[in-house]
Amino acid sequence: MTETTKKTYRKDQAAIDKLDRMQFAVTQNDATERPFSGKYWDHKEEGLYVDIVSGEPLFTSLDKFDSHCGWPSFTKPVQTGHIVEKRDVSHGMIRTEVRSTHGDSHLGHVFDDGPAPTGLRYCINSASLRFIPKDKLEEEGYGDYWHLFATP
């Protein structure tokens, strides 16, 4: 068993206590940051995006694309088991909310207007994410994800 598969993800009160105002509003109160205001909307470094509350792996830079919407957008999660989709009828719209499975953090929404191969656009608030650069994956306990970035 590897370090990553031994890892336990859960809603971590110590992590919640360290959140800034926007991170708390987004992850705990289902808020949305303004477009083009989050730190990852135009981020291009290779690595893994994890839930800022639980640490569970959510998305990789390999599946990130510029959707011109002002939020980080991804075509798919790194592991479907770390994402929960829920019907959201707030603000007079019908959407699909995306939450982290173990941290129960509000992440954003998923739409069916993304590029191939999935046709999906996971539109995610930067405030809900922590980025792990690919050269820090092992050090941060995410070594099992290094293979995703290895060049053939």
Q: What is the reported pTM?
A: 0.92
Active site residue 123: yes
How far apart, in Å, are the Cα atoms of 119 and each of 10, 67, 76? 30, 12, 9
CATH class of 3-139: mainly beta
Catalytic choice (26, 48, 58, 123): 123
Task: Kindly list the domain boundaries of the chain, sorted by start residue.
Answer: 3-139
Q: What is the pLDDT of residue 151?
A: 75
94-107: pLDDT as tens digits: 899 999 999 999 99
- 146 — phi, psi (to 5°)? -60, -40
Q: What is the mean pLDDT of the chain?
A: 93
Closest C-alpha to 9, from 138, 111, 142, 114: 142
